[in-house]
């Protein structure tokens, strides 16, 4: 089994064998990082970061991963002044960039755009987030973080916050289900996870998550509390937002009720969902995720391009 | 003869011996690319890409070429927040950047700005497009594409579309003339090639191109159909635009009338000038141009900086 | 004494022994640059350039320095679309980026923001300008330029222009005082250096600069004329601006009165403060500063990251 020359568009495309392989390779990469070694595995290779929607975290993380492997990066952030703003189709842009690079990492506000790009490109395409759809590398770094911090056993995982528009949870629920974890979904009624995703994971893995509306309800159950941002703009009625937002904040009060050993994850950026008094607690793993993310993206770049160790 | 430490501002500055040398070196670079070798010819060298006007294609192409040769890239895209926006002159900007880099590739909306920059700089400056004036590296990759696909013999080449503001054709006509090709100019009356360019190539090479107003008229004559975009904004009267735009579209209908072996080129981005049903046809070489372009820019970077193989 | 793993936030934080060491290391780096050698001292290391406020000069200078040492660069310029624009705190941004890089160079319009970032980060942070507060690497390159051009002896140095908002002079006065130089301050009354800085350097080094309102008054006294830009926007009354701006322009008339051997420095960009007829004169050292700046930033990157020669 090999990921070489494949695309990474959706977590749903991955087999368990492939995820196993990615996590194993991420382990190797993590040991390079902790030893501060930068192997020249991808020397002479070029990553194109096409971020039609600006991003600090995901773009810099990919670029860091490529640099750590000795490769180079070209790209853009924001679509102002790109060929697309001159009326070029995404397909044409991709058919040019594939001549300049060996792999593409792309973020685009349009759902499905990464799939389209992957179909047009002869080189591997990694989806770095396509609208509210998927963000598979985030899900892989989330599951790698869980593996490192708790082990890949039958854990209770609560996904909390905006489950409707949050693309990271749309990807993560596939990987959690794949490893047989128990999933709880905690969100305001209006921001529940789309029905078709629930049906898809049920059909594939038999996952049948319970629904909650407050994090208080899952605090003493969860081994992993995965928190996402609820955007004020999602609520037409601002009073509605004020009413619910209090139920989606991790603070000392919530932690007192928490199951022993529970860890808190967040794809970041956070706004008010996690009180910063939590940052120094042992349960806070959301900044470690960023570090694990470099290892996972190094693994993906290496595997998809077929770099040899 | 050596291009070392020279600037590349206009196709008109190049002698045939120099273009021969560039094409020969591009051949060598192309073989590196097809073998997926990245030689460290420019290791330790720095390219500054100063794109006062944003660009995806040309900037990424230069950056890719530099990375393939083991060099590094610094620069900016868009003039927001640059020193120029604080009132600095271009000359001052250049006299700083020349301290940071070994070669400059610049795009600027002002015609003649590249020449000004080259005069100010002690390091080589490559014109990556100065307004409607010149775009010599595009012309070099165009002629390299023609050489690879058809050979540098006496070919019939039709330049089509906006010949007034399209800087790529302003550069290309010099190189076509230099190699003794027959040139036809196909454009709406209001977008004809500037008279002074026609006089200049006539004086230098005796070129005396015929004028046409529809691509239909040259389809069975041309070995190379070089298509450029006609921008709607060029027409004060939108009805006028609608009237002419139909005569500048390559589609299956046009191809049926085409001379055997004709190839279609386009500097891209295209909007409606080439129907995408053509993309899979053997005549479609406009995406290959992007690939050849990397080889040509690698050759130029190496030659202008005097890098040794 | 070692700068390894320290931050560089304010010139006031540096001891004379540390500045001596930086200048000595800059000398070594300068010899690499003049010999056109790019040693791989920082190979595998990553510099993150976080420019929340766009900058051409300082950002490109840091990036060039990192590339010359064989390292890689990731980062952004302008805060549009960054996580901060999504409501993330600077502290959270830093706690992510520290996972992606080995050192951070940051510019931010908020005074004190670099100190905050340094406190949050486990990796070294270099202040690349925080509002009107400090710009220590500029001051270090200024003092290095003075050392190279005049020697570090008891010189007369006139700081001219906007001494209230100009962060470069706020940093430079510490280093000049540290080396026992005589300082004169030349500015409009409304743009005088903040009282607290004057008291701080007086308390530390006994510096007691004389105040002037016209460069004519110091022309025959100064060995170094350090000129900064006076921004029109600083004057609520535009007539007031017109009245004073004439007293802050270096031209041939001023040079005729100048002390023999006087050199003119400017952090750039300039607008009207130095007539470009001066550029070719031997006293004009403001473009050389940019070159010396690469050496100084190479030295800082190496020392703060503890790279070995």
pLDDT tens-place string over residues C159-184 = 999 999 999 999 999 999 999 999 99
Residue of C nearest to B71 (CA): C67
Indicate the number of domains in chain A. 2
Note whether B141 and B65 are within 8 A (CB).
Answer: no
Residue C41 lies in a domain: yes
Q: Distance of alpha carbon B236 from its chain centroid, rounded? A: 27
CA distance C60 to chain B (A): 6
Report yes or no on whether pTM surpasses 0.90. yes
Between B and C, how many CB-CB pairs are < 8 A?
70
Residue A1 is predicted with a pLDDT of 55
CA distance A43 to chain B (A): 8
Chain B residues with CB under 8 Å of A92 CB are 268-270
Specify whether C74 is located in the same domain as C126.
yes
User: Is residue B3 included in any domain, yes or no?
Assistant: no
Quick one: A42 and A121 in the same domain? Answer: yes
Q: Do B67 and A80 touch (CB under 8 A)?
A: no
CB A289 within 8 A of CB A262: no
Asked if B91 and B236 sit in the same domain, the reply is no
Q: How confident is the model over C251-274, as pLDDT tens digits? A: 999 999 999 999 999 999 998 899
Beta bridge partners of C125: C104
Residue B307: the pLDDT is 58
Query: Is A101 within the bounds of a domain?
Result: yes
Q: Which band of pLDDT confidence, cut at 50, 70 and 90, is reported for residue C245?
A: confident
- Any CB–CB contact under 8 A between C133 and chain B? no
Question: ipTM, 2 decimals?
Answer: 0.95
Residue of C nearest to B87 (CA): C271
Q: Which residues of B touch A67 (CB under 8 A)?
A: none
**How far does the CA of residue B301 sit from the closest CA of chain C (Å)?**
17
The pLDDT score that the predictor gives to residue A162 is 94
Mutate to test the interface with C, among A39, A67, A128, A292 (most CBs of C within 10 A): A67
> Which one, of A149, A150, A200, A214, lies nearest residue A171 by Cα?
A200
DSSP-derived secondary structure letter, C11: G
**CB distance B72–C67 less than 8 Å?**
yes
CA separation for the pair B286, B227 (Å, rounded): 10
Burial pattern A31-60, b for ≥16 Cβ within 10 A else e, equals ebbeeeebbebbebbbbbbbbbbbbbbbbb
For the segment C62-91, the average pLDDT, to the nearest whole number, is: 88
Cβ <8 Å between A268 and C96: yes
3 state DSSP class of C51: strand
* % of chain A with per-residue pLDDT over 90: 84
C87 touches chain A (CB under 8 A): yes
Q: Same domain, yes or no, for C108 and C145?
A: no
Percent of chain A with pLDDT over 70: 98
Range of the domain at C271: 136-289
- Asked if B87 is an interface residue toward chain C (Cβ–Cβ < 8 A), one would say yes
- B88 close to C (CB below 8 A): yes
Let me know if A208 is exposed, middle or buried by CB neighbors in 10 A (0-12, 13-18, 19+). Answer: exposed
Torsion sign across C-alpha atoms C156, C160, C163, C165:
negative
Q: Is the Cβ pair B97, C60 closer than 8 Å?
A: yes
Return the half-sphere exposure (C-beta side, CA atoms, 13 A cut-off) of residue B243: 11
Q: Tell whether A77 and A191 lie within a shared domain.
A: no
Does any CB of chain B come closer than 8 Å to the CB of residue C56? yes
Which helix (H) or strand (E) covers residue A76, if one does? strand A72-77
Average pLDDT, chain C: 94
Mean pLDDT of C38-42: 91
Are C88 and A271 an interchain contact pair (Cβ–Cβ within 8 Å)? yes
C77 interface with B at CB cutoff 8 Å: yes
Query: Of the candidates C38, C63, C276, which has its C-beta nearest B44's C-beta?
Result: C38
Q: Which one is predicted more confidently, A136 or B235?
A: A136
Nearest CA-CA distance, residue C72 and chain A, Å: 6
Going through B8-154 in order, the beta strands assigned E by DSSP cover 46-51, 72-77, 103-108, 125-130
C-alpha distances in Å from residue C248, one per residue of B275, C1, C241, C254, C276 = 61, 41, 11, 10, 14
Q: Which chains touch C (3 or more CB pairs under 8 A)?
A: A, B
**C44 neighbourhood in chain A, CB within 8 Å:** 36-38, 68, 70
Instruction: Establish if A4 belongs to a structural domain.
Output: no
C-alpha distance from A208 to closest chain C C-alpha (Å): 33
pLDDT tens sequence across C186-238: 999 999 999 999 999 999 999 999 999 999 999 999 999 999 998 887 788 88
Q: Is the pLDDT of residue C9 over 50?
A: yes
In a domain, A6, yes or no: no
Mean pLDDT of C24-46: 95
Contact C278, C251 (CB under 8 A): yes
**Domain co-membership, C257 together with C186:** yes
Residue C189 lies in a domain: yes
**Where would I find the H helices in C35-89?**
57-68
User: Rounded mean pLDDT of A269-279?
Assistant: 93
At A201-255, the pLDDT tens digits run 999 999 999 999 999 999 999 999 999 998 887 788 888 888 887 789 999 999 9
Segment A46-97, tens digit of pLDDT: 999 999 988 889 999 999 999 999 999 999 998 776 667 778 899 999 999 9
Return the pLDDT at A81: 63
The answer to whether residues A21 and A128 belong to one domain is: yes
For C287, the closest of B48, B80, B95 (CB atoms) is B95
C 254-293: CB under 8 A from B: 268-271, 276, 287, 290-291, 293
Q: Are residues A157 and A285 part of one domain?
A: yes
**C-beta atoms surrounding C57 within 10 Å:** 23
Is B80 an 8 Å CB contact of chain C?
yes
DSSP classification of residue A250: B
Using a CB-CB cut-off of 8 Å, the residues of chain C touching B88 are: 268-271
In this complex, do C78 and B81 lie within 8 Å of one another by their Cβ atoms? yes
With a cut of 70, which residues of chain B have pLDDT below it?
A: 1, 81-82, 307-309
Q: Looking at the partner chain, which of C46, C48, C99 has a beta carbon nearest the beta carbon of A291?
A: C99
Which residue of chain C is at minimal alpha-carbon distance from B49? C60
Using only C-alpha atoms, chain A has a radius of gyration, in whole angstroms, of 19
Q: What subunits touch chain B, counting only 3 or more CB pairs under 8 A? A: A, C
Confidence at residue C239, expressed as pLDDT on a 0 to 100 scale: 86
B72 lies in the same domain as B91: yes
**How far apart, in whole angstroms, are the C-alpha atoms of residue B117 and residue B130?**
11
**C79 at B interface, C-beta within 8 A:** no
Task: Answer yes or no: do C218 and C299 share one domain.
Answer: no
| C116 interfaces chain A, CB cutoff of 8 Å | no
CATH label of the domain that carries residue B25:
3.40.50.1370
pLDDT of residue B1: 55
Distance CA B81, CA C51 (A): 11
Across residues A154-164, what is the average pLDDT?
96
Q: Tell me, yes or no, whether C245 lies in a domain.
A: yes
Tell me if A34 is assigned to some domain. Answer: yes
- The mean-pLDDT minimum among A8-22, A154-168, B67-81, B152-166 falls in B67-81
Q: Could you tell me the CA-to-CA distances from B305 to B67, B123, C173 in Å, in that order?
A: 15, 9, 40
- Do C275 and C301 belong together in one domain? no
Residues listed for chain C: 309
For residues B255 and B301, state if they share a domain. no
C1 pLDDT higher than 60: no
């Amino acid at each position: 089994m090999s990921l070489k020359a494949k695309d990474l568009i959706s977590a749903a495309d991955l087999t368990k064998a492939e995820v196993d392989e990615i996590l194993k390779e991420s382990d190797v990469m993590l040991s390079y990082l902790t030893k501060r070694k930068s192997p020249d595995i991808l020397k002479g290779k070029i990553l194109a970061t096409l971020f039609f929607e600006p991003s600090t975290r995901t773009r810099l993380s990919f670029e860091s991963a490529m640099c750590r492997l000795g490769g180079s990066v070209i790209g853009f952030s924001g679509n102002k002044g790109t060929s697309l703003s001159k009326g070029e189709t995404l397909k044409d842009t991709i058919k040019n960039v594939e001549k300049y690079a060996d792999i593409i990492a792309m973020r685009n506000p349009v759902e499905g755009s990464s799939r389209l790009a992957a179909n047009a490109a002869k080189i591997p395409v990694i989806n770095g987030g396509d609208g509210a759809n998927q963000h598979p590398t985030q899900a892989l770094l989330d599951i790698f973080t869980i593996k490192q911090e708790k082990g890949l056993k039958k854990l209770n995982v609560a996904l909390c916050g905006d489950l409707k528009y949050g693309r990271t949870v749309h990807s993560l629920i596939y990987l959690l289900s794949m490893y047989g974890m128990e999933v709880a979904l905690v969100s305001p009624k209006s921001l529940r996870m789309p029905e078709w995703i629930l049906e898809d994971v049920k059909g594939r893995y038999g996952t049948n998550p319970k629904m909650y509306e407050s994090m208080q309800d899952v605090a003493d159950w969860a081994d992993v509390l995965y928190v996402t941002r609820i955007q004020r703009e999602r609520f037409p009625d601002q009073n509605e937002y004020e009413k619910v937002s209090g139920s989606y904040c991790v603070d000392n009060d919530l932690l007192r009720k928490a199951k022993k050993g529970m860890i808190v994850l967040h794809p970041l950026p956070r706004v008010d969902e996690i009180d910063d008094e939590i940052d120094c607690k042992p349960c806070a793993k959301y900044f470690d995720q960023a570090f694990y993310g470099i290892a996972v993206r190094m693994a993906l770049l290496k595997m998809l391009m077929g770099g040899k160790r």
